Amino acid sequence: MTYFSRLSARVAEVGSLCVGIDPHPGVLDAWAVGQDLAGVEKVALGTVDALADKVAAFKPQSAFFEQWGSGGIAVLEKCVNAARQAGALVILDVKRGDIGSTMDAYARAYLGDGPMGVDAITLSPYLGFDALRPALDLAEANGRGVYVLARTSNPEGADIQLGHTASGSGVAQSLVDQAARRNQLSGDNAVGLVIGGTHASLGVDLSGFQACVLVPGIGAQGGTMAGVETLFAGTAALILPSVSREILYAGSSAVSLREAVDKVLWARTIHRPSR
């Protein structure tokens, strides 16, 4: 199965919420665990254990694990394996983007069958969309997915993303269009987009895009589920809202985490499960 078909099936089963796993200091405090690797592991594995049956995907932020060195990477591997064994998809937020053999190595690290292989990763296209080709090729070959940063949730991104390319088209729109063309050629819809949920308007035309849009920025960054409803109204793409701190700050209790997810889900109607 392709990544998009697996994701669509998962969304039909449990709804489209994606929960970010970002074990930063504030979350560790909320869980009453140490500011150490053991605390990071409790947050990561505890979140998966509590929520794997309620969410479409988990989105671990690699940086919060990488900062602990090899031990942190080992915990990230445990988190990825636990999520996948529980039936949830894993989108690793790594924002990789490079050229040639380096991009190929990144692709093999995360989109291959190695210990860090996941369902999908985030990619930065600002060395050029075509520079991502090794990752796009491997994702399609292995039934994995990628999410290309197009209109990010942070306000600083607008300086570049709403600028114009050398040909005169909008930068973000150019990325949307190139992703759509790639999906049309492959038929796999493996190339998704990252478009933040913090904007008053999209700033891009998604009418020709029918794959998945990952929507971060909900909760701590100011985006709301109601805003996502409005922002993507009429869009044919599969919308995957991502919430992290708003849920993780509920603490280590599985009951509290599940109640936090329910609170988020009842604030929206997009892809709400029928049961």
Which residues are annotated as catalytic? 95
Token pair belonging to 115:
């210990």
Cα gap 136→178, rounded to integer Å: 12
**For residue 265, what is the enclosing H or E element?**
helix 254-265
Q: What is the DSSP string of 130-190?
A: GGGHHHHHHHHHHT-EEEEEEE-SSGGGHHHHTSB-TTSSBHHHHHHHHHHHHHHHHSS--
User: Radius of gyration over alpha carbons of the chain, in Å?
Assistant: 18
**For residue 239, what is the enclosing H or E element?**
strand 238-243
